[in-house]
């Protein structure tokens, strides 16, 4: 297991887990702005049409058959195929990696939510990117060739979900940690590499 170090800098307003009530009115990237806009639009429809709406904030989802543009899939593919990986920054940035099966279970549970609720779905414990690369190396059985580049100013140093509301409203708790989730994802990739290695 990783040592869980308390982050000292996040590039944001807090160095702890982010709750659903934290200020999100000034997003730093177009991607974050688009998500905030969707939440606000959904609230308008909830208000006007009295529809139930559960806004689920997913934190760095990964797993078998995952998006090929996400870091864990890209790293697995490139390390397995002997290609270099690119890390923006020094790799100490931390992400709240959440396994896809846990996300699916939380999403299904949220179908029963009444009213308008915003709910974080994350593992609740951030892990440094360098540590995740090490887990991938062990699972694949190869050493990564890492090319470090400058970190983008819109890239936060930390994502960390406060999942207490998900536990309260959904009776949901994630079960798959990064070590196990990466092992499962690597196994899936190696089983399907005859076609998965062509994904970009």
Centre a 10 Å sphere on the Cβ of residue 90 and count the other Cβ atoms it contains. Answer: 11
Question: Three-class SS of residue 44?
Answer: helix
Q: Which of 31, 99, 123, 189 is catalytic?
A: 31
Cα 172 to Cα 19, 115, 116, 122, 189: the distances in Å are 16, 18, 18, 11, 28
Question: Would residue 31 show up in a list of annotated catalytic residues for this protein?
Answer: yes
Judging by DSSP bridges, how do beta strands 85-88 and 116-121 pair with one another?
unpaired
Using an 8 Å Cβ cutoff, are 57 and 20 in contact?
yes
| Active-site residue list | 31
């Amino acid at each position: 297991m990783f040592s869980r170090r308390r982050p000292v800098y996040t590039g944001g307003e807090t160095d702890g887990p982010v709750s659903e009530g934290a200020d999100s009115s000034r997003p730093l990237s177009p991607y974050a702005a688009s998500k905030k806009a969707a939440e606000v639009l959904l609230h308008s429809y909830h208000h006007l049409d009295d529809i139930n709406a559960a806004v689920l904030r997913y934190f760095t989802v990964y797993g078998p058959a995952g998006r090929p543009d996400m870091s864990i899939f890209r790293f697995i593919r490139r390390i397995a195929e002997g290609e270099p990986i690119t890390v923006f920054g020094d790799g100490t940035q931390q992400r709240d990696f959440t396994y896809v099966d846990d996300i699916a279970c939380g999403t299904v549970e949220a179908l029963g939510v009444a009213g308008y609720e915003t709910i974080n779905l994350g593992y609740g414990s951030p892990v440094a990117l360098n540590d995740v690369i090490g887990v991938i190396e062990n699972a694949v059985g190869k050493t990564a060739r890492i090319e470090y580049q400058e970190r983008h100013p819109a890239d936060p140093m930390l994502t960390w979900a406060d999942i207490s509301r998900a536990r309260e409203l959904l009776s949901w708790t994630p079960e798959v940690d990064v070590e196990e989730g990466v092992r499962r994802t690597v196994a899936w990739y190696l089983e399907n590499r005859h076609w998965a290695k062509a994904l970009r």
